[in-house]
Structures are given as C-alpha cells and as structure tokens.
A and B are shown apart, each in its own frame.
Chain A
Amino acid sequence: MESPVLKVESFCASFGEHNVLKNITLDVTQNKLTAMMGPSGCGKTTLVRCINRMHELIPNASVSGKMLLHNEDLYAMSPIIARRKIGMVFQRPNPFPTMTIYDNVIAGYKLNGVKKSREEFDKIVEESLRRAALWDEVKNVLYRKGTFLSGGQQQRLCIARALAMRPEILLLDEPTSALDPKSTSHIEELMIELKETVTIILVTHNIAQAARTSDFTAFIYLGELVEFGPTQKLFTVPKDKRTEEYLTGKFG
C-alpha cells in the first residue's frame, strides 16, 4: 500500500459562526481519482477549496485540524506555494480574457514572473494541451484569444493551464456543471486518462459521474464525511443508511 498524497486529519472549517465542515478525516491515494459527492451545500466544494486554501478569500473563514501534502503541513506553508503545488479547475470555464490560448496555458509562469526560454515554453504549452486533449483542436490557433473557444474547449484549456504548473494534485470543482453532455463526456474521458499521471480530486453532485470516473468516493452530508471508500464498494454495498438513501435518490 503506497503512502497517501494528501492526508486530511480531523479537519473542521467554519465561516463565522457557521460550521461547514465537521471533523473530516480521509486519505487521498496517489494517481487515483477521488470523488467528493453529496447534495448541494453539503460542504464538498468548501473541502476542496480548503485543500488549496482558496477559502481564505472569504473573510472570517477559519479552520482547524490537519491537511498534509506528502507529510508536509499545507497550512504551515505560504498559500502561494500551496496553490502552485495543487492545481484547480472551477465550475465555470475561466480562461484569462486578455490572453491568447498560448499565454493562458503558461499563465502560471508568466504571472508569477518565472523566466523560461521560448523553446521551454513551447514545450510546456504543447505537452499541457496534449495532456488536456486540446492540442489537435487548437494547434493552429494558439495565438487567438482563449475566449473564442467553445465552453468545453475553454474548460480543457483551464485544465491545461493547471497542468502546466505540474501540480501534485488537481482539484476539479464540478468541472462539467456548466457544460453540455458531449463536452461533459469529453472531460470525463480526459479525467480517466489524466489520473495515470496526476492525482485528481473531483467534486460532483452527479452520482453517475462519480461512479463512472472515480476510484474512491467520499459521501459528504451536512458537513460530515458519512462514508469514504473504494467507489465500487461504496456504490454496491454502502455501509451507512444515509449513503444508500442518497444513492437511491431518496434525498439530495
């Protein structure tokens, strides 16, 4: 059994008086896809935003517990360093509107002022776009604005942008909720390919999507981790009554 990439230990998060996450403990395995599933408002998005510390943008957010990346405390390092190690893709595609496709992919380097030669950047752009299965579609329009692409392509561009930083973990926060079915299946295929090379944490409210793509599934309900385990097991023989009820559509 390999050691987990990310260890979450009795983690709690709250915004002001409101406790959003209660005592979450789970391990994320290397090069596997872990899905966070649960009804709206259950705290699954908050959990992944706590992983790369994006929750800190909200005033009066506070956390307790531990979040270890390769046994290194994420909360002991600067959020800037933590975010470079953990890539994130959001619900709605958000390429930088002022930048070309090429610049969007290397935005992480450009905006941080990392200097590299043209050849190195060319290599990163091609590699990242290939990994995001977008290269063939955009290789001739690299210098057009990223916003000219379709929604699904934009989302893959955002995935390429996150991959370009060579993150240890890729967080996908409902990456298909703003896309049509065809783009959705594209992104799902992509996620399955990508987990060979990068650890993925997927937030989804779509039970079928979690079943199709993930290796491990966490079911979160009202800020509590109800059940966590291998996807196949959780979907076929759920231990908790609430998981079973959620999976059979009794609530959520």
Chain B
Amino acid sequence: METENLFFRIFKDRLFKLVVIVFSFASSLPLLFILFYIFKNGIAVINWQFLTQLPKPVGEVGGGISNAIVGTAILIILSSICSIPLGICTGIYLSEHRTGKLSYAVRLCVEILQGMPSIVIGIIAYMWIVMPLRTFSAFSGGIALAIMMLPIIVRSTEETLKLIPDSLKEASLALGVPYYKTILKVIVPAGLSGIVTAVIISIARVAGETAPLLFTAFGNPFMNVNISKPVNALPLLIFNYAASPYPEWHALAWGASLVLAVFVLTLNFFAKMMTKKWKVQF
C-alpha cells in the first residue's frame, strides 16, 4: 500500500513536469511557424533589386519596395523625435513624484493610452492633423505612431528610474549638485540602459503598425521624402498588396513581411543585448 502510493506520487510528479515542458514548448511554436512560413514565401523575392527599386505596375515582372522602406524609416524618425523627449521627461516626472494628484492623473492617462486601440489613434490623428491640413501626410502618420510609442517609453522610463536607489540621489545632492543636474547627470545615466531598451522596444512595436497609418500616412506608390505628402510604409504595402488579386503583388507582400519581421526581430535582439551589456551595478 505504502509503496504503491509512492509510485503513484512519483508518476504524478513526472507527469506534471512533462506537461509543463510540453506546454512551454508549444507556446514557442507559433513564432517558429510564422518565421518559417515568412521565410519560405518571402526569401524567393529578396534580392538587391527588391530593396532598392520602386514597385512596378501590375503585369511587369520585378520591382521592389524601396519607397516603403524609406517611408517606414521616415515615420519612425518622426515618431521618435516626438515621443522620446516627451516620454522620457514624463517618465522622470512620474518616478520623482510617486504620490500626488497630478502624477496619479498622468499615470492613469498613460495606462489608458497604452490600451487604446491603434485604429482609434489613427482616426484621432486623421481628425487632428489630416483634416485641417487637407492632405494625408507622413507627418500625421508619425504623430499617430508617436502616440503609440509614448506610453511604452513613459512606463519603462518610470519603472527603470524607480529601481535606482535613493542613496545615489542623496550622494549627488550632498555634494551640492543642483536637483536638475542630479537628475540629468546621475539618475538618467544610471538608468540609461533601461531607457534605451524601452525606446528600441517601442520602435519595434510601432514599426509593424498598420491601422494608425491607414488614414494618415495613407500609402504612396512612388518614392516620397516630403513629410507633408503621403508616404508608403512596409505594413501598408503588405496590407494593400496582400489584399490584391495579383500573384506578383502577393510575392512582394511576402518579401516585405520578411523584411519587416527581420527588422523587428533585430531590434528586439538588440534591446536584449543592450540590457545585458549596459547593466549598471549599484
């Protein structure tokens, strides 16, 4: 009786371990399948021409996605310029003022903004910028993406700076260093790896966003670097080409998906490396 019971317990233990291993493996399967599928379909169209040429009209063979790559780069630069300074400053404020009505309100707003559907943000950018200016533009797309990046940067900056011990701030203040210099030269550098990681993650997050760009950057079959005109972007190109009836365009969409996926993966990988390498020991 005793031994039987023991065997059964060992069996349960083994079974539990097995289930945990199988499930954790299963949760990594979707990513592997997605990558495999994108590679299989996309790798065939990737070549130098694909990255440097403009899309060709239907029926012609070849053509590339250079306008979408440039457009995505412009959108990321614009949204970074808007969201990084604002996000970091807000994060500093929230970590410095942990209690208080204003910081409570700001924190709440940022949290809600983070959960806001991206399509809604696109519509808002359309109402605020596209309608008054009477044109779709890279600028409006950049703003829409900046609104999406903002909460990610704010939250991560706040969380990172909160982990920095107060003793460091005291050390600086006790040397007669003014408060703003203490923040800028002691606290922010100590949390820099976390802040940079947050920025990279937020870029990776918005690089693939389609919905906010539908009514803002709109898409453009030609090369455009003027931020007051519509631009193409990788996710927009994928959206438009994948929904088209032409097989050549489907191939281009797969290729663009591969480029986008590799870009986002690289950013994520880079962010991980950054956290490890720049880790500050207190």
Q: Count residues of chain B with CB under 8 A from any CB of chain A.
A: 22
Say yes or no for A81: interface residue by CB 8 A criterion.
yes
A-contact 0/1 string along B264-282, CB 8 Å cutoff:
0000000000000000111
Shortest distance between the CB of A74 and any CB in chain B (Å): 13
Q: Given the known inter-chain contacts A90-B167, A112-B181, please indicate yes or no for A97 contacting B280, CB distance below 8 A.
A: yes
A111 proximity list for chain B (CB < 8 A): 172, 175, 177, 181-182, 185-186
State which of B172, B175, B181 has its C-beta within 8 Å of the C-beta of A162.
B175
Say yes or no for B81: interface residue by CB 8 A criterion.
no
Say yes or no for B190: interface residue by CB 8 A criterion.
yes
Q: How far is the CA of A88 from the CA of B185 in the complex (A)?
A: 19
B176 proximity list for chain A (CB < 8 A): 80-85, 108, 112, 165
- Whether the pair A97, B175 counts as a contact (CB closer than 8 A) is no
Q: How far is the CA of A83 from the CA of B170 in the complex (A)?
A: 11
Which positions 154-190 of chain B face chain A at CB distance < 8 Å?
165, 167-168, 170-178, 181-182, 185-186, 189-190
B contacts with A: majority SS: helix
- Whether the pair B170, A90 counts as a contact (CB closer than 8 A) is yes
Say yes or no for A141: interface residue by CB 8 A criterion.
no
B186 proximity list for chain A (CB < 8 A): 96, 98, 111
B171 proximity list for chain A (CB < 8 A): 90, 94-96, 158, 161
Shortest distance between the CB of A32 and any CB in chain B (Å): 22
B282 proximity list for chain A (CB < 8 A): 97, 147
Q: Count residues of chain A with CB under 8 A from any CB of chain B.
A: 30
A92 proximity list for chain B (CB < 8 A): 167
Shortest distance between the CB of A104 and any CB in chain B (Å): 9
Shortest distance between the CB of A168 and any CB in chain B (Å): 12
Chain A residue at smallest Cβ distance from B174: A88
- Whether the pair B177, A98 counts as a contact (CB closer than 8 A) is no
What are 6 A-B contacts defined by CB distance under 8 Å?
A83-B176, A94-B168, A98-B190, A107-B175, A108-B176, A112-B178
**Residues of chain A whose beta carbon lies under 8 Å from any beta carbon of chain B:** 52, 54, 57, 80-85, 87-88, 90, 92, 94-98, 107-108, 110-113, 145, 147, 158, 161-162, 165
Q: Which 7 A-B pairs have the closest CB atoms?
A: A84-B176, A83-B176, A108-B175, A88-B174, A94-B167, A111-B177, A94-B171
User: A83-B175, A108-B177, A112-B176 are known contacts; what are 11 more A-B pairs with Cβ within 8 Å?
Assistant: A80-B177, A81-B176, A84-B176, A94-B170, A96-B172, A98-B189, A107-B172, A111-B186, A112-B181, A158-B171, A165-B176
